[in-house]
Amino acid sequence: MNSTDYDVIVIGSGIGGLVTATQLAAKGASVLVLERYLIPGGSAGYFDREDGYRFDVGASMIFGFGDKGTTNLLTRALDGVKMSIETIPDPVQVHYHLPDGLDLKVHRDYEKFLHELISYFPHEEKGIRQFYDECWKVFNCLNAMELLSLEEPRYLTRVFFQHPFACLGLVKYLPQNAGDIARRYIRDPQLLKFIDAECYIWSVVPADRTPMINAGMVFSDRHYGGINYPKGGVGQIAQKLVEGLENAGSHIKYKARVTEIIIENNRAVGVKLASGETLRAKRVVSNATRWDTFEKLLPATKKPTSEKKWQQRYQQSPSFLSLHLGVKAEALPDGIECHHVLLENWDDMEAEQGTIFVSIPTLLDRSLAPDGFHIIHTFTPSWIQEWENLSPSEYAAKKEKAADRLIDRLTQIIPDLDRGLDFQEVGTPRTHRRFLGRENGTYGPVPSRKLLGLLGMPFNRTAIANLYCVGDSTFPGQGLNAVAFSGFACAHRVATDLGL
Ligand SMILES: Cc1cc2nc3c(=O)[nH]c(=O)nc-3n(C[C@H](O)[C@H](O)[C@H](O)COP(=O)(O)OP(=O)(O)OC[C@H]3O[C@@H](n4cnc5c(N)ncnc54)[C@H](O)[C@@H]3O)c2cc1C
């Protein structure tokens, strides 16, 4: 065993891990990415099925592919290793089908969206504009500066002198939540519920627990850089990053499950694989969730106190029940949009299998399904506890029943769905846990109570020297563009520590 085989070992090839790896490789570091699965991408991966169906595992409403500003982090990450992807703009971020007949679309065109929302709440026009305008203020601050590690003092000093007002703006919003700002301007309880849904669909918590920094990004970038679907499917992002990584002279190894992070003299020095092999590096970056990193890859005695405190502030969000469908093209109503959110009763928004998310990416890229067919990925929050302690036949029966119920509810927006079905596959939280390697299949950490905005979310360094975390359990949280941010920040911090 060499004293150091690599500059950096990255555990996991989710988008957070790959952005860290590619940024470091582009700076000349020797990087090895270790991925337990067969392909890269994690929650942004894909799988193929018979007859030419290609499904996204999770993400398909993609931010970060814009061509201007500084918040287009997927475009920038690919560019960092001389790669690019053709994308297809989506004219509507999401079509909401909400209780009380609230049926509206978030158009890419900001004014068109506001008009549609204001037509439901004309008495709240001023409040609506004030709330969303405040989101733009956050976004404009972020979009003015290069987004790197907030743990790097020289960078902070530099951006402060370059953009003093933007920095002060962000410091102001950092401890705030979207719900507080919404209530400052909006009174109508139904409209406040809509703002909750606007937050919930990506933060999986209502507005009161959704940091304003993240809300500012999402509610503005959808009208600025827009939502853009990568041609060939979401899996292309990870594939291209890997290609760029290898072109830059670094490597990825699949079927390489890390079982232990090796600690010597209180420093991370390498990893042990399930095969028994050990590999050493100057720095170790974990793209696994914090629960997986600190509870499974390190002995209990090494769990830092800061992690115990973090676990009191943040809890695991539910996982998802996913239904991947292949349907005849004629089953889809004319003019249907790509992304939908469906909820019949406000009280069920956060409930087990309450809110339904729908994505029909073949409306943007026909290559993902055979001629004359579309794919529909529909998913709804579900907890692992719902799916445990079942015999194989009970598990199969429960999956089938849940799929039937989802299809039944989906007929509200696709009346002919049942008759058009060609392919069907169900994934449960157990599937997410198994294939994504995420504790309980969780979507990620959510505040366990109301916190001070994003202030409690850890950056990339950990209490263990030379061990870093990246991905959705670090600042600023879930979503591909967010984990790309965390990847840029992590690579920046590691590169500075390595003197690159
Ligand atoms: C159903 C669903 C829908 C979503 N929709 C959207 C959306 O529309 N838009 C959006 O922006 N985001 C969406 N997201 C969220 C987004 O996909 C995630 O936030 C993001 O992909 C997480 O990236 P990550 O880098 O943190 O880690 P992950 O994607 O979790 O990747 C971590 C990687 O590490 C590997 N790994 C873990 N442990 C080990 C180990 N011990 N050894 C080796 N490898 C290991 C895993 O196999 C995995 O490949 C969705 C997520 C889901 C599940």
Going by CA atoms, what residue is nearest to atom 32 of ligand 1?
14
**Is 161 strand, coil or helix?**
helix
Cα 14 to ligand 1 centre (Å): 5
Six token digits for residue 496: 């500075």
**Is 223 strand, coil or helix?**
helix
Contacts of 85 (CB under 8 A, 6+ apart): 65, 78, 230, 231, 232, 236, 237, 240
Q: Is the CB of 483 under 6 A from ligand 1?
A: yes
Q: Is the CB of 145 under 6 A from ligand 1?
A: no
Q: Which of 11, 19, 43 to mutate to test the pocket of ligand 1 (most atoms within 8 A of CB)?
A: 43
Pairing of strands 445-447, 267-273: unpaired
What is the C-alpha end-to-end distance of the chain, expressed in Å?
A: 25
Report the chain (500 residues): mean pLDDT per 10 consecutive residues.
81 98 98 97 94 91 95 97 97 97 97 98 98 96 90 90 90 95 98 98 96 96 97 98 98 98 95 97 98 94 90 95 97 97 98 98 97 97 97 97 97 95 96 95 94 91 97 96 98 97
Question: Do 115 and 83 contact (CB within 8 A), yes or no?
Answer: no
Q: Is the CB of 177 under 6 A from ligand 1?
A: no
Going by CA atoms, what residue is nearest to atom 11 of ligand 1?
479
- Position 108 scores a pLDDT of 98
Q: Is the CB of 288 under 6 A from ligand 1?
A: yes
- For the segment 349-394, what is each residue's pLDDT rounded down to a tens digit? 999 999 999 999 999 999 999 999 999 999 999 999 999 999 999 9
Question: Do 323 and 414 contact (CB within 8 A), yes or no?
Answer: no
Six token digits for residue 484: 């790309």
- Position 3 scores a pLDDT of 57
Q: Is the CB of 472 under 6 A from ligand 1?
A: yes
Q: Is the CB of 23 under 6 A from ligand 1?
A: no
Question: Do 322 and 455 contact (CB within 8 A), yes or no?
Answer: no
* pTM of the model as a whole: 0.97
Q: Is the CB of 485 under 6 A from ligand 1?
A: no
Q: Is the CB of 138 under 6 A from ligand 1?
A: no
- For the segment 48-103, what is each residue's pLDDT rounded down to a tens digit? 998 899 999 987 999 999 999 999 999 999 999 999 999 999 999 999 999 999 99
Cα 436 to ligand 1 centre (Å): 7
